[in-house]
């Protein structure tokens, strides 16, 4: 992966912009369909800022990737153009049948794999057609940004949101960004739109007093401090840090001392690479007044993610689109999401000894003790906090209405060894009368509850027979 792929992606953005531009004259009514997660919300906000600027009549809806039925319903609505964001590539057949067949225009701005047919009313941008990896190199917010930047340089001030989406989709790695994300971040820093520094990467560093910032931390979850106000107070007191200060105001030296204090507190975890990199590293802050919302990009991503997860994507969208008034609501949503996650992680920490080990993966049966909708994220956070070893894929299983929900997490390192947890889960779930799928490092499935033991045995077989 190198310059040639980035240039191809750039050209795809130019072509998509050329398709979009004549349709921004105010006479084309546009329907935007985006995804209910941080990336989808950030991407929709970048697009909306562009559409507002040109006075384009438009409406937006947030949804999980739409089913065929939903797209057929959508096609009955009277719009001249449909823009699918953070979805659409995998649904192109239905889009073809129900929208393109009516000679309506479609633009697909996505980073998921799919199909890319030619059609006079269709344009798309997708890293997969450019030799880039859609799971790592760029997300849909970066793709939208690449298009609007072609239309007018003023939209460059939205670069921070493009990176927020990438962070939301976990496209920032310990070594930094890759592909189109890397290019985008470096340029935004050069242009003075983003400020890059080093420090404690805690959500809340620019939002809440330091004691509260530590207490509410779920990324990483700091055993002994997260959820424990008294312990956080005592640590901060020991270091002589005023309770009311923001982490972002402490200055590098004090922040470093606090980090050392945290490392001293967590014992053996201090030498855990996942934990260390999740706690301390590169920070990106928005350096332009054109964006409303938290200054720190990781905080911004957490805010949008919380709004999506608590079924209030429109609140996060309002903030990202520039609505100052929506900010208080969004922050309240972020804090209730953090409290939920603190509880889920506290429970998981108590259960660390209950994980079972097969020859190829680790798993925990959670029964009714955890909300299945939070289980996948709780697993990701526990891994990033160094609580669960990642020498093998990790699964959690929980009861849900009508069956068993399974969340699985793996690592890029295991994926490089050929382990594709998404494929393995899809195959094994189907074998026991369920369904599932996802990426090589994150996947989910649903199966009949009574076939759990069979599923575990079959998945072990699948994974030992060549990695799915």
Q: How far is the CB of 305 from Mn ion (least distance, A)?
A: 11
3-state secondary structure of 123: strand
Q: How far is the CB of 167 from Mn ion (least distance, A)?
A: 11
Piece of the chain touching Mn ion by CB under 5 A; list 22-30, 134-142, 251-259, 413-421: 134-142
Q: Residue 406 phi/psi, 5° resolution? A: -120, 130
- 122-125, strands of its sheet edge to edge: 58-63, 30-35, 81-85, 105-109, 122-125
> Is residue 110 near Mn ion by the rule CB under 5 A?
no
Nearer to Mn ion, 12 or 200 (CB): 12
SS3 313: helix
Does 169 sit near Mn ion (CB under 5 A)? yes
Please give the residues from 259 up to 298 whose contact with Mn ion meets the rule CB under 5 A. Answer: none
Give how many residues touch Mn ion by CB under 5 A: 5
When asked if residue 305 is in the footprint of Mn ion (CB under 5 A), the reply is no
99: left (phi over 0), alpha (psi -120 to 50) or beta: alpha
Q: Quick one: which segment of 26-34, 169-177, 383-391, 405-413 binds Mn ion (CB under 5 A)?
A: 169-177
Q: Where are the alpha helices (DSSP H) in 136-200?
A: 140-151, 159-168, 179-190
Q: Residue with CB nearest Mn ion? A: 39
| Residue 139 or 462 with smaller CB distance to Mn ion | 139
Upstream peptide bond of 220 is cis (omega within 30 degrees of 0): yes
Distances in whole angstroms, Cα of residue 238 to Cα of each of 235, 250, 258? 5, 15, 10
CA distance 117 to 123: 9
By beta-carbon proximity to Mn ion, the closer residue of 143 and 425 is 143
Residue 319, token pair as written in the block? 């903030």
Q: How far is it, in rounded angstroms, from Cα 200 to Cα 406? A: 32
Q: Which is nearer to Mn ion, 169 or 255 (CB)?
A: 169
Q: Taking every pair of C-alpha atoms in the chain, what is the biggest distance, in angstroms?
A: 69
Give the gyration radius of the chain's Cα atoms: 22
Contacting Mn ion within 20-49 (CB under 5 A): 39
Q: How far apart are the C-alpha atoms of 297 and 420, rounded to whole Å?
A: 30
Select the span of 162-170, 220-228, 334-342, 385-393 touching Mn ion (CB under 5 A).
162-170
Tell me which of 50, 86, 338, 379 binds Mn ion, using CB under 5 A. 86
Part in contact with Mn ion (CB under 5 A); list of ranges 58-66, 73-81, 168-176, 328-336: 168-176
Site for Mn ion in 137-156 (CB under 5 A): 139-140
- To Mn ion, the closest distance from the beta carbon of 379 in angstroms equals 19
Least Å distance, CB 115 to Mn ion, is: 18
Distances (CA, A) of 94 to 70, 81, 101, 402: 10, 16, 10, 28
Closer to Mn ion by CB, 86 or 105: give it: 86
Applying CB under 5 A, the span of 7-15, 166-174, 273-281, 454-462 interacting with Mn ion comes to: 166-174
The nearer residue to Mn ion, 397 or 442, going by C-beta atoms, is 442
Give the nearer residue to Mn ion in terms of CB position, either 135 or 241: 135
Classify 169 as helix, strand or coil. coil
**Which residues contribute to the site for Mn ion (CB under 5 A)?**
39, 86, 139-140, 169
């Amino acid at each position: 992966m190198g310059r040639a792929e980035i240039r191809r992606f750039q050209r795809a953005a130019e072509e998509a912009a050329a398709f979009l531009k004549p349709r921004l004259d105010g006479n084309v009514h546009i329907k935007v369909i985006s995804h209910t997660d941080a990336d989808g919300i950030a991407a929709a906000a970048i697009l909306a800022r562009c559409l507002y600027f040109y006075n384009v009549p438009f409406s937006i809806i947030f949804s999980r990737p739409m089913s065929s039925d939903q797209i057929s319903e959508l096609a009955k609505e009277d719009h001249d153009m449909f823009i699918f964001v953070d979805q659409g590539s995998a649904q192109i057949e239905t889009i073809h049948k129900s929208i393109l067949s009516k000679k309506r225009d479609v633009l697909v701005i996505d980073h998921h794999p799919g199909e890319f047919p030619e059609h006079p009313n269709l344009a798309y941008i997708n890293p997969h057609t450019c030799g880039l990896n859609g799971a790592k190199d760029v997300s849909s917010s970066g793709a939208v940004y690449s298009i609007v930047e072609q239309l007018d340089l003023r939209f460059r001030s939205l670069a921070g949101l493009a990176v927020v989406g990438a962070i939301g989709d976990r496209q920032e790695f310990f070594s930094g960004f890759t592909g189109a994300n890397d290019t985008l971040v470096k340029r935004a820093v050069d242009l003075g739109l983003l400020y890059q520094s080093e420090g404690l990467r805690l959500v809340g560093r620019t939002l809440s007093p330091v004691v509260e910032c530590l207490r509410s931390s779920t990324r990483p979850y700091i055993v002994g401090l997260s959820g424990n106000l008294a312990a956080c107070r005592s640590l901060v007191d020991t270091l002589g840090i005023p309770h009311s200060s923001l982490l972002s105001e402490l200055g590098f030296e004090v922040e470093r001392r606090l980090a050392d204090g945290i490392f001293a507190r967590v014992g053996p975890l201090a030498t855990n690479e996942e934990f260390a990199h999740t706690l301390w590293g590169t920070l990106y802050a928005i350096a332009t007044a054109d964006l409303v919302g938290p200054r720190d990009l990781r905080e911004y991503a957490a805010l949008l993610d919380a709004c999506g997860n608590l079924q209030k994507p429109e609140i996060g969208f309002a903030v990202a689109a520039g609505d100052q008034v929506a900010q208080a609501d969004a922050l309240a949503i972020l804090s209730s999401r953090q409290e939920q996650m603190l509880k889920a992680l506290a429970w998981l920490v108590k259960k660390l000894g209950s994980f079972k080990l097969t020859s190829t993966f680790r798993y925990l049966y959670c029964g009714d003790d955890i909300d299945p909708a939070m289980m996948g994220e709780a697993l990701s956070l526990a891994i990033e906090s160094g609580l669960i070893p990642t020498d093998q894929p990790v699964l959690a299983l929980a009861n849900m209405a009508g069956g068993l929900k399974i969340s699985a997490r793996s690592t890029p390192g295991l994926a490089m060894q050929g382990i594709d947890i998404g494929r393995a889960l899809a195959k094994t779930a189907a074998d026991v009368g369920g369904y599932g799928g996802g990426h090589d490092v994150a996947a989910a499935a649903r199966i009949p509850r009574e076939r759990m033991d069979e599923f575990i045995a079959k998945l072990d077989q699948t994974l030992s027979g060549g990695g799915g």
